[in-house]
């Protein structure tokens, strides 16, 4: 079996080993493969291709006649032309439900940073602000408790449920918007439509997949329904925000702040309006990147490949 990894550094910058794959066949590892032509050249003999965010177009699929499996190092598979893969007999396997704890943790990292402003005050102290203060204590921005605050979750899958669990520990009220609330009759949350939910929320956090329905969901109309000063979190997909509308709301004060681990284009263009907006915390798509999470990812990847080779494919998203 000829196995090619097209973009190894995103999931494994060097702190993990790929050796576990060598027992399944000949392995070739590339740091990055940034063009269609390079992907075709590197994968032309591959039967299994492993990737995280390398784009696989119809042209690529049609020019890889030996390809039988695309094994993703991710849950989302929007970078792949799955229809073309199906037509060419190529299976696409993703890695579901590996990062729920980490993404929920990142969600509250943003929320707690906004509530406590740890970085702002630490920077002030380390630059001499406390040593030069006449008072034993000072604060540079409003601070808030999470107790009795209301958080609204859009999406109630694996990650949304974990965020709700953490929110309840902080004694927050949890509202949820999801397409099928009837699936969760015993959930300890309140299900609401968006018109009911948004005006009540101090925090709104996105945990829905990027679909035609959620693409650009958070726009001027959506924001107009939110409580003035609410904090928005996006650890889902960058395309779920109309970034200009969100930036305008941040700069006007309609939104109190934004925590985002994803943007519509990654890496972002220098003129992305969120990069210069007020009260923004942005991280470079790292919610999934803890060592423990990536180790779990590798384990599921190996299982996907071994099951495929044994003729019992799992986690197939296109057939």
The sign of the dihedral angle between the CA atoms of 57, 62, 66, 69 is: positive
Instruction: Match 């702002």 to its residue by tokens.
Output: 120
The sign of the dihedral angle between the CA atoms of 260, 264, 267, 270 is: negative
- Residues 44-62: b if buried by 16+ CB within 10 A, e if exposed: eebbbbbbbbbbbeeebbe
What is the C-alpha separation between 186 and 161, in angstroms, rounded? 12
Q: Which amino acids are annotated catalytic?
A: 237, 266, 285
- Residue 45 DSSP SS3: coil
Q: Are strands 203-206 and 150-154 parallel, antiparallel or unpaired?
A: parallel
Contact 99, 288 (CB under 8 A): yes
- Residue 282 DSSP SS3: strand
């Amino acid at each position: 079996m000829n196995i090619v990894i097209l973009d190894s550094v995103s999931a494994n910058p060097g702190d993990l080993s790929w050796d576990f794959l060598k027992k399944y066949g000949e392995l070739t590892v590339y740091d990055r493969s940034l063009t269609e032509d390079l992907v075709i050249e590197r994968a032309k003999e591959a039967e299994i291709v492993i990737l995280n965010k390398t784009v696989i177009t119809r042209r690529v699929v049609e020019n890889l006649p030996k390809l039988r499996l695309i094994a993703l190092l991710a849950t989302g598979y929007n970078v792949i032309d799955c229809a073309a893969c199906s037509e060419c007999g190529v299976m696409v396997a993703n890695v579901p439900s590996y990062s729920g704890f980490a993404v929920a943790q990142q969600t509250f990292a943003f929320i707690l940073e906004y509530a406590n402003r740890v970085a702002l005050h630490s920077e002030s102290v380390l630059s001499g602000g406390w040593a030069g203060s006449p008072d034993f204590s000072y604060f540079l921005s409003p601070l808030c408790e999470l107790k009795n605050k209301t958080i609204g979750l859009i999406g109630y899958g694996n990650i949304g449920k974990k965020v709700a669990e953490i929110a309840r520990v902080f004694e927050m009220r949890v509202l949820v918007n999801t397409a099928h609330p009837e699936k969760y009759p015993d959930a300890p949350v309140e299900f609401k439509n968006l018109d009911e939910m948004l005006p009540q929320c101090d925090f709104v956090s996105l945990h829905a997949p990027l679909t035609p329905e959620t693409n650009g969901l958070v726009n001027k109309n959506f924001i107009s329904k939110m409580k003035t000063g609410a904090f928005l979190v996006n650890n889902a997909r960058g395309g779920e925000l109309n970034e200009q509308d969100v930036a305008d709301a941040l700069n006007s004060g309609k939104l109190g702040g934004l925590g985002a681990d994803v943007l519509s284009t990654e890496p972002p263009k220098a003129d992305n309006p969120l990069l210069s907006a007020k009260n923004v915390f942005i991280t470079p798509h790292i919610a999934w990147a803890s060592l423990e999470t990536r180790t779990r990812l590798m384990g599921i990847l190996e299982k996907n490949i071994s099951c495929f080779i044994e003729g019992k494919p799992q986690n197939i998203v296109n057939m």
